[in-house]
Structure 1
Amino acid sequence: MGFPVSLRVDDEDVPERAADAVFAWLREVDERFSPFKPGSEVSRHGRGELEPHELSEDLVEVLGLCERYRLATGGAFDVRLPGRGFDPCAVVKGWSVQRGAQLLRAAGARRFCLNAGGDVVASGGPWRVGVRHPEHAGRLCTVLELTDGAVATSARYERGDHIIDGRTGHPATALLSMTVVAATLTEADSVATAAFAMGAEGIEWAASLAGCEVFAVVAGGQVLRTADFPVAEEPSADV
């Protein structure tokens, strides 16, 4: 899926096949939902080759999430950008990893940490999760504590200015990073990307959502966070 995935399960009675099922699911998602594979369901839908009744229930769910955040952000978050084709990866990543966490719970796992490219679903904590400094790869800007929940960060440091403000068609550059804690990674990842696309106004928007806590680094280095963001260690003074 284009990012490393790691899993730690601390329950002794959970069979190894539970972890195997998670990774098998993520490989299936890569085959079905990658916009970079011409034969995937996502690619075929983007080219208009599938009738509405031919879409899988999973893709229908993803499309609903994409539309939800497009409307909520006034078009800043849009998976159908001119000249770029249909690319729902910003929703698929969190959605698919959260589904993986549900597979673990169904297998009896109660204490685990599933990390997908730095976005994390945690259960049975507390788990400590570091958030990379947006300008210094070897440093953290904060460490948070999760018991049962998820955290996702959208930023420019891995892939450059890849998040586009759908209202303007230009890269979103007002923020250096946006970290969101929520009950599920589906929400945390989607909200983090959507808020980043909105720019500075996205901070207040994300903070207004029930159950979401925010830690944002604005261009220039200013840190803004909600009062209940679960900080385990204060950020360094020179963020």
Structure 2
Amino acid sequence: MRRVEHVMGFPVSLRVDDEDVPERAADAVFAWLREVDARFSPFREDSEVCRLDRGEPLEISADLREVLGLCEEYRAATGGAFDARLPGRGLDPCAVVKGWSVQRAAGLLAAAGARRFCLNAGGDVVTAGGPWRVGVRHPEDAGRLCAVLAVTDAAVATSARYERGDHILDGRTGRPATGLLSLTVVAPTLTEADAAATAAFALGREGVAWAAARPDCEVFAVDADRKVLRSPGLPVA
């Protein structure tokens, strides 16, 4: 099974190698991601996130409570470098929502019987089975890779400056985080990999050691001086 759709502002591609997984499993994945975009986008005025940020009376859903709890977990763990409520900006939990929602989508596939699949959401990947080979883009040359990882039942996420410029801010200063060019995290889930990559990038150079110290996380990074840093257990292909 192969499927590609544009959801949540980026392409999402799905590959399922099992022959007995019904097409409706893919339908459920993309329906869920569209639902997440409608409910949690900080760019949709009628989303639950925007309504909460405006102070409208509403009963916060269990899903949003979970997302906000994760945001607070990473804020506390980074001493405020990661923050979904930056000064002068509205509530923006996207750095958690993306990985969390795609990991939930992977759970839908597993529940439908998929045992070997790869779900790629804008370059962040969750896999089942394996090993899968996942390329890490060179931070200054889109046509080159600077590493290839071999992952099995794991997720890979990268935070970098090459697509959207200095869009990740250090919540402690409110200024762009510029200590790194890119940072990739390999973790058991995309919830952890994606949020940890963003949080570590916000921390700057110290974020490499911070992410590598998290349970079951491995790190590949290129700092602003073009120095490559990697944790000892990084699963290089």
- Partner residue in 1 for 2:65: 60
Alignment deviations for residues 132-180 of structure 1 (CA, whole Å, 9 cap, x no partner): 1000011111000111110000000001100000000100000000100
* Match runs of 1:100-139 below 5 Å: 100-139=105-144
Aligned to 2:149: 144
The answer to whether 1:171 aligns with 2:176 is yes
Match 2:104 to one of 65, 81, 99: 99
CA RMSD in angstroms comes to 0.6
> Match for 1:106: what amino acid?
A
How far is 1:50 from its partner? 3.4
Once the two structures are superposed, the pairs formed by residues 37-76 of structure 1 within 5 Å of their partners are 37-51=44-58, 54-76=59-81
Structure 2: any 5+ residue segments left out of the alignment? 1-7
Give me the TM-score of the superposition, normalised by structure 2: 0.96
* 1:52-73: CA deviation from partner (whole Å, max 9, x where unpaired): xx00000000000000000000
Tell whether 2:222 aligns with 1:217.
Answer: yes
| SS of alignment partner, residue 80 of structure 1 | coil
State the Cα deviation string for residues 36-88 of structure 1 (Å, max 9, x = none).
0000001101111135xx00000000000000000000000001011111000
Alpha-carbon displacement from aligned partner over 1:165-205 (angstroms, at most 9, x marks no partner): 00001000000001000000000000000000000111111
Q: Which runs of 4+ in 1 moved over 6 A?
A: none
Q: Distance in 1 between matches of 2:54 and 2:139?
A: 36
Could you tell me which residue of structure 1 aligns to residue 196 of structure 2?
191
Letter in 1 for 2:162: Y
- In the other structure, the counterpart of 1:235 is none
In the other structure, the counterpart of 2:35 is 28
CA deviations on 1:13-35 (whole Å, 9 max, x unpaired) are: 00000001000000000100000
What is the aligned residue count? Answer: 230
TM-score, structure 1 normalization? 0.95
Q: Which residue of 1 aligns with 2:3?
A: none
Correspondence 1:77 to 2:100: no
What letter is aligned with 2:16? V
